[in-house]
Amino acid sequence: MDIVVLCCGNLLASDDGFGMYVLEELEKMEMPENVKLVDAGSGGLDILTFLENTDKAIIVDAVFSGDKIGNVHRFVYDKNTEFPTLQFSLHEMELMNVLKAGYAVMSGSMPDDIIIIGVEIERTEQFSIGLTPSVQNALPVVMKMILKELNP
C-alpha cells in the first residue's frame, strides 16, 4: 500500500506553517519504504499530483473553525460530505475544494483513504517565524496520530 503524507503550510506565517514543522520531525524518523513524505507548501491544486496513484493520504494542515487554538482535529475525507464550518489553509484554493476537484477530474487515480489532521490556529495574515506555544504543544499529539495511521 502506497502512503503519502502531505504536510501543508508556510513557515513565514507563524502557526500556518505547522505542517512544515511536522514534516521536519517526520524526516528525522525512519519511514517504511511505502511511505512518501511531501512538503506540499501552500500549493492548492498542485497537491493533486502528490495524491495521484496512492492508496492512502495523510494531509497535515492548519485549520480555522473557531475552536480552541492548538486543538487537533482528525477527519476522514468523504467526497460526499461537506465540511462547511471548517477552513483549511491552502492559500491558493481551500483544501476541500482541491480534493473535490481531484475526485471529479481524476477519480480513478485518487486515494481511497484520505485522513486530514488539522491543528486549530488563529487566523493571521501576519508574517513571523515559529509556532505559538499552544500550537507547538499540539506537535507531539499530531506526530502520534500520524504514526498510528502509518502503523494501524
> CATH number, domain at 80?
3.40.50.1450
Total domains, the chain:
1
Class of residue 126 by CB neighbours under 10 A (exposed 0-12, middle 13-18, buried 19+): exposed
Which residue from 97, 99, 98, 135 is spatially nearest to 119, judged by alpha carbons?
135
Q: Domain span at residue 50?
A: 3-150
Q: Which pTM value belongs to this model?
A: 0.87
* Grid coordinates given for 120: 486549530
β-pair type (56-64, 35-41): unpaired
Pick from 13-17, 83-87, 99-103, 138-142: least confident? 83-87
* Per-residue pLDDT reduced to its tens digit, 97-110: 788 888 888 878 89
Q: Looking at residue 92, what is its pLDDT?
A: 47
How high is the mean pLDDT of the chain?
A: 86
Q: Looking at residue 93, what is its pLDDT?
A: 55
β-pair type (56-64, 3-8): parallel
Q: Looking at residue 32, what is its pLDDT?
A: 93
DSSP 8-class letter at 30: P
Helix boundaries (H) for the chain: 18-27, 47-51, 95-106, 133-136, 139-150
* Per-residue pLDDT reduced to its tens digit, 1-58: 999 999 998 877 888 899 999 999 999 999 999 999 999 987 678 889 899 999 999 9
* Per-residue pLDDT reduced to its tens digit, 66-81: 889 999 999 888 876 6
Length of the chain: 152
